[in-house]
Structure 1
Amino acid sequence: MVTEYHVAKNGSDQAEGTKQAPFLTINKAAAVAMAGDTVIVHEGVYRELVDPQNPGLSNWRRITYKAADGEKVVIKGSEQIDSWEKVEGSVWQVVIPNAFFGNYNPYKEEIYGDWVVYNPNRHLGEVYVNGKSFYEAESLDEVKKPEVKTEATEFWQGITIPAHDPEGQKYVWHAEVDDMNTTIYTNFQDFDPNEELTEINVRKACFFPEKTGMDYITVQGFEMAQAATPWTPPTADQPGLIGPHWSKGWIIENNDIHDAKCSGISMGKEASTGDNFSSKRRDKPGYHYQIESVFSAKKVGWSKEKIGSHIIRNNKIHDCGQNGVVGHLGCIFSEVSGNHIYNIAVKRQFYGHEIAGIKLHAAIDTQIEDNRIHDCTLGIWLDWQLQGTRVTRNLFYRNSRDLFVEVSSGPFIVDHNILTADYAIDNHAQGGAFVNNIVRGHMEHRKMLDRSTPYHVAHSTDIKGFSPVYGGDDRWYNNIFIGDEGIEGVGTDHYKGYTTSLEEYIGSVHNDKGSDHGAYNVVEQPVYINQNAYLNGANPFDREEDNLVTAHDPEIKIVEDGDEVYLELNMSEDFEDLLGDVHSTHTLERVRLTDVDFENPDGSEVVLNADLLGNIKEGRSVLGPLKELKSGKNRIKVWD
């Protein structure tokens, strides 16, 4: 029997859960809801960690949690604190018994784990006034005299990141924890914290099952915020503010998700397959433990039948410290679409190699499409086992970097995107197809010969083999590359010296007198590059046969106008003279190492004929991600 349960702030957990006699907490409904049931939550702020106790059974017999139509429902991982006492000047303190936090005290738990690079005594706690998060200070002295950073900071691989919110950096806190109490000191400047909405992180998450295997759950229409989520590398348990916790078939849609200390939405792995062993044991690098986690995951059911196939769509995801969407292994066969992701990892209080608006490992057959990603330290970072992964029709701007693809052998597709960061693309992978994009910004191309990573049987988690990244085996068609003053490395000229067909590559390998495998380390893999435009200093591959190269500056701009975003571009008079073909499974050469074709997740032919706005191209058309681009001035709405 299908049941509809109701939750309201005037309810009781001893009630029946009907509309007339609702439950008081979402968790009460989560304890009784069964496959096919719907939980409707009415207006109010719910301070709890929702822990579903039962799974749905199929796409048609889901358990659905939804905010009541037209009502604002907020789930928070924080508690309001109104017992602050003034210490001196604008510094206040509150003393909280440790028992208040149970077995998880965010003011004692540090940002910790594999691949954390920079962590000057940062913890999982947070202080908020009227929804605005503060900055953690390293000492009480810094609370009294906050250090405001106005200059850019250089992080990993020479990436320089500008300072964030100098005015906001005056609002700082520091906590001291002893055997009995947690004391939080905060500089509230001109605020009286007892007269404002002052909150602190308390819970690890807002909506996250403790048990694995809680399949086929839908969560829609909520605001969820202020959770003390831990650092989530691919070698650890990966809880987010919300997530399925090693389950199948979740739909997370139309939510406003923000202020996770680390991760917003997690489609990640669980602890039994490894939990920061490199940091804890210090005997092997995280790379080796990550390989072990792949094999461990296979033993506990990592397959299309049991894990993944999630849908993350039409959410607003913002102001998270590490990433907006994260996942290793658990993100297989999923869809991340229509999300507005911004202000991710911009406070720069800690830093590591797992930071991005979207950071996925082993995203087999996962489709990332129609997302707006801006003001992030890194837009999308796809790492390990990109096979069948597609990044299409996404808009990137004002990020420190836009796209990073790493240690993967393909096939993966990047098509019909707009990438505009000064540092646009890191390509440390092979076997990719980059088609019909606008790329304005530096492009980095690197081999990774010291990290052999898995590749798979097509559309499967079954491991077929391992390979380092030799560089190349890439396809670049119909792209518009735009240079700019002070930005180097835009275009495809970094492939100089690479072969241009599989036949040429094989001939070169077998003419080499090296060992069986040694020749493959020195002969450059084939690349397939044609029909691209290179503007304003961007440079082409020297063996490209058909292209447009011009010094014309198109003066590219991304313009926000309310909730709408426009692309402004002034193209040269000869822009429409060069047209590009529509590419598909039949025109994209198979990937050499994996020996797999470019296909849709169901194995059908992939056709790259839908532009950034969904317009279908018939036959040859102008280069780039927009069918309506033309010579001269363009102003095109690219997000509504």
Structure 2
Amino acid sequence: MEYYVANNGSDCGPGTKERPFQTISKAALAAMPGDVVTVHEGVYREWVKPRFKGLSNKRRITYQAAEGEKVVIKGSERITSWRNVDGNVWKVTIPNSFFGDYNPYELEVFGDWLVSTETRHLGDVYLNGMSFYEANSLEELEDPKIRTEVMDSWTKKVTSVPSPEQTKYVWFAKVDENQTTIYANFQGADPNEEFVEINVRRSCFYPLETGIDYITVRGFEMAQAATPWAPPTGDQPGLLGPNWSKGWIIEDNIIHDAKCSALSIGKEATTGNNYCSIRKDKPGYQYQLEAVFSAERAGWSKEKIGSHIVRNNVIYDCGQNGIVGHLGGVFSEIYHNHIYNIALKREFYGHEIAGIKLHAAIDVQIHDNRIHNCSLGLWLDWEAQGTRVSRNLFYQNNRDFFVEVSHGPYIVDHNILASKYSIDNVSQGGAYVNNLICGRMNHRKEMERSTQYHLPHSTKVAGFSFVYGGDDRFYNNIFVGEDSAEGVGTAHYDGYTTSLEEYIEEVHKVPGDAESFNLVEQPVYIDHNMYLGSANAFKKEETNRINHDFHADVKIIETEDDEVYLSCELPEDFEIFAGKIYTTAALPRVRIVDAEYECPDGNDVSLDIDLGDNKKKGDGVVGPAAEMKSKKNYIKIW
């Protein structure tokens, strides 16, 4: 059956094409497995909470915008009753009942791994779609000099700062037992004449219950939700998400202005909810260990959780994450998404911020995404096992890619990492193949936090390990050190062994057990890479090309038509320096996990599809795109 929703409909009607419902929420109370909910053009200010689940991929419930029509779901309300206080400052007083049991102007940004020292709330004010900044006091809101001094002090602490033009738009709220008063500096605009909205609801499309499986959400714009801080040790609601379910398809949506996280494929509260911050009796690390086992006891498995598809979405202007998830995103596929302007507003700061931030991304395939102008592009944290990061475009991020306390096997292939800071590697068991890497690389061990690894293609825990450093593979990459940049290349592996046999021999020269393994550097497998400019090679690499005098002049060029091109120059011998196609058989197995590099279904992997989605035949050039050539290149990459 197909239900219809339109602004001029009625929730007392049958939801037919002739007599549509007025709200999507009403349709969500009626839609059963196999049904479709089609929503016509308009703005819907509601939190849609799907009640029933689909039963399989063939019997899913689909929520879709009518073809060719703009459908917007907002977590905000428009306010037109502002009163002028003084000059540019206006105020509005709202009864607390307006917010129900969730008042964003009373609720703080709070939780584990948050390190901000200033109190921030989940509310926000929007002038013609532009979000404001929260002031620390009414005096700061009223006095531009105080605000300037605060911002000058604050901007010294961060590497990417907001526009001074935007930061002068500020709000402050007072909440008492009965009412909420919001003050805002509109810088000369009349808020009753302009379009002014405030955050009201936590989410736009998110079930209250877990296990609401096989839902499709397609073609909507969703915005302005008061989403809370979403750490891996807490409940992780987003503006949109499945809430610990299986088999959602989230596609062709525009998602923006989530206070914290836009799209969540993460955990729920019963497996731990900010206990470190509330109880303060154990570190967050310990509670995160416990969360994994709590989830396993609660049925965390491929049969019940994950296997989502997130594709063709545009996600931007969010305070914490574009996509977030711990445990709940296993076996998912995330591709063809455009994610930008994440965590650049910098109202608060913590350790869980990125364009995409995933914990336990077991067998998750992240490919063909465009991620730029983010505090951090992609952060894989804990249990990146069977994860593949392929054919993505990273640029103008503070950092492009961070993989932390994982043990592999994970694959990073045919990506462009074009920011000045490309890779933070605090893991082991990675295979980096056919990438263009243009920025600094940081590599370190982690010998104080032992984290889980799993049976291949499973959520079952197989063991724990520290990160010893190494056990990484680098083949067919182009490293570009522009402007004498330091830390680009593979030289930080100097001193590591180069085979498992050599490693074992060195370890057993000293009698002992665990302490002997701590004394020897794990093997690394590094060959057939190109190093340009200030990039430096691993001393034991047998076959490479090094040209410290060559200036590649790498540029990522965006056009007015939202196309993106790679412009660069490559040495004259570039095409002669061919590299082979790497497969499971050619990638040495991972030591700690004792596992092979495979596809999620257990079949052998072949890294034979380039950045342009072209299948490579035989030996090809190094780097991400098969059409790269000597001298000048101008290649469409998005």
Matched position secondary structure for 1:118: coil
Cα separation, 1, equivalents of 2:401 and 2:473: 16
1:577 aligns with 2:576: yes
Taking structure 1 as reference, are residues 20 and 119 closer, same or farther at Cα in structure 2, changes over 3 Å only? farther
* 2:405 pairs with one of 394, 404, 407: 407
1:534 aligns with 2:537: no
The aligned counterpart of 2:363 is 365
Alignment of 1:423-502 (within 5 A): 423-485=421-483, 487-502=485-500
Using the TM superposition, give the Cα deviation of residue 190 of structure 1 relative to its aligned residue in structure 2, in angstroms: 2.0
Structure 1 counterpart of 2:615, one-letter code? I
Using the TM superposition, give the Cα deviation of residue 151 of structure 1 relative to its aligned residue in structure 2, in angstroms: 8.5
Alignment of 1:152-301 (within 5 A): 153=155, 160-301=158-299
Matched position secondary structure for 2:276: helix
Map Cα deviations across residues 370-391 of structure 1 (whole Å, 9 max, x no partner): 0000000000000000110000
Structure 2 counterpart of 1:612, one-letter code? L
Cα separation, 2, equivalents of 1:225 and 1:215: 23
Matched position secondary structure for 1:485: helix
1:37 aligns with 2:53: no
Matched position secondary structure for 1:626: coil
Using the TM superposition, give the Cα deviation of residue 337 of structure 1 relative to its aligned residue in structure 2, in angstroms: 0.3
Instruction: Indicate if the aligned counterparts of 2:29 and 2:51 stay in contact, CA closer than 8 A.
Output: yes
Cα separation, 2, equivalents of 1:484 and 1:119: 36
The aligned counterpart of 1:627 is 626
Instruction: Indicate if the aligned counterparts of 2:428 and 2:471 stay in contact, CA closer than 8 A.
Output: yes
The aligned counterpart of 2:540 is 543
The aligned counterpart of 1:525 is 522
Alignment of 1:550-561 (within 5 A): 550-551=547-548, 552-561=550-559
Using the TM superposition, give the Cα deviation of residue 162 of structure 1 relative to its aligned residue in structure 2, in angstroms: 2.5
Cα separation, 2, equivalents of 1:153 and 1:451: 32
Cα separation, 2, equivalents of 1:152 and 1:175: 21
Cα separation, 1, equivalents of 2:637 and 2:508: 49
Instruction: Indicate if the aligned counterparts of 1:75 and 1:223 stay in contact, CA closer than 8 A.
Output: yes
Taking structure 1 as reference, are residues 154 and 612 closer, same or farther at Cα in structure 2, changes over 3 Å only? farther
Instruction: Indicate if the aligned counterparts of 1:530 and 1:545 stay in contact, CA closer than 8 A.
Output: yes
Provide the TM-score with structure 2 as the length reference: 0.98
Map Cα deviations across residues 44-73 of structure 1 (whole Å, 9 max, x no partner): 100000000000000000000000011110
Map Cα deviations across residues 415-454 of structure 1 (whole Å, 9 max, x no partner): 0000011111000000000000010111000100111000
1:381 aligns with 2:379: yes
Cα separation, 2, equivalents of 1:117 and 1:579: 47
Map Cα deviations across residues 156-212 of structure 1 (whole Å, 9 max, x no partner): xxxx51221111111000111111111111000021000011000000000000000
Instruction: Indicate if the aligned counterparts of 2:484 and 2:533 stay in contact, CA closer than 8 A.
Output: no
Cα separation, 1, equivalents of 2:321 and 2:565: 26
4+ residue segments displaced more than 4 Å: 150-155
Structure 2 counterpart of 1:605, one-letter code? D
Cα separation, 2, equivalents of 1:164 and 1:62: 42
Instruction: Indicate if the aligned counterparts of 2:122 and 2:226 stay in contact, CA closer than 8 A.
Output: yes
The aligned counterpart of 2:307 is 309
Using the TM superposition, give the Cα deviation of residue 486 of structure 1 relative to its aligned residue in structure 2, in angstroms: 5.0
Cα separation, 2, equivalents of 1:451 and 1:576: 44
Instruction: Indicate if the aligned counterparts of 1:152 and 1:163 stay in contact, CA closer than 8 A.
Output: no
The aligned counterpart of 1:356 is 354
Matched position secondary structure for 1:179: coil
Using the TM superposition, give the Cα deviation of residue 484 of structure 1 relative to its aligned residue in structure 2, in angstroms: 2.0
Matched position secondary structure for 1:241: coil
> Equivalent pairs: percent with the same residue?
64
Cα separation, 2, equivalents of 1:60 and 1:315: 23
Alpha carbon RMSD of aligned pairs, Å? 1.0
Cα separation, 1, equivalents of 2:27 and 2:539: 64
Instruction: Indicate if the aligned counterparts of 1:208 and 1:244 stay in contact, CA closer than 8 A.
Output: yes
Instruction: Indicate if the aligned counterparts of 1:119 and 1:349 stay in contact, CA closer than 8 A.
Output: no
Matched position secondary structure for 1:524: coil
Using the TM superposition, give the Cα deviation of residue 119 of structure 1 relative to its aligned residue in structure 2, in angstroms: 4.2
The aligned counterpart of 2:590 is 591
Cα separation, 1, equivalents of 2:156 and 2:397: 15
Matched position secondary structure for 1:497: coil
Matched position secondary structure for 2:316: strand
Map Cα deviations across residues 266-297 of structure 1 (whole Å, 9 max, x no partner): 00000000000000000100000000000100
Matched position secondary structure for 1:472: coil
Matched position secondary structure for 1:167: helix
Instruction: Indicate if the aligned counterparts of 1:150 and 1:166 stay in contact, CA closer than 8 A.
Output: no
Matched position secondary structure for 2:575: helix
Instruction: Indicate if the aligned counterparts of 2:485 and 2:534 stay in contact, CA closer than 8 A.
Output: no
Structure 1 counterpart of 2:234, one-letter code? A
Using the TM superposition, give the Cα deviation of residue 241 of structure 1 relative to its aligned residue in structure 2, in angstroms: 0.2
Alignment of 1:330-345 (within 5 A): 330-345=328-343
Instruction: Indicate if the aligned counterparts of 2:484 and 2:534 stay in contact, CA closer than 8 A.
Output: no
Instruction: Indicate if the aligned counterparts of 1:152 and 1:161 stay in contact, CA closer than 8 A.
Output: no
The aligned counterpart of 1:420 is 418
* 1:24 pairs with one of 22, 25, 35: 22
Matched position secondary structure for 1:258: strand
Matched position secondary structure for 2:102: coil
Matched position secondary structure for 2:126: strand
The aligned counterpart of 1:328 is 326
Structure 1 counterpart of 2:530, one-letter code? A
Cα separation, 2, equivalents of 1:162 and 1:125: 23
Structure 2 counterpart of 1:449, one-letter code? M
1:99 aligns with 2:97: yes
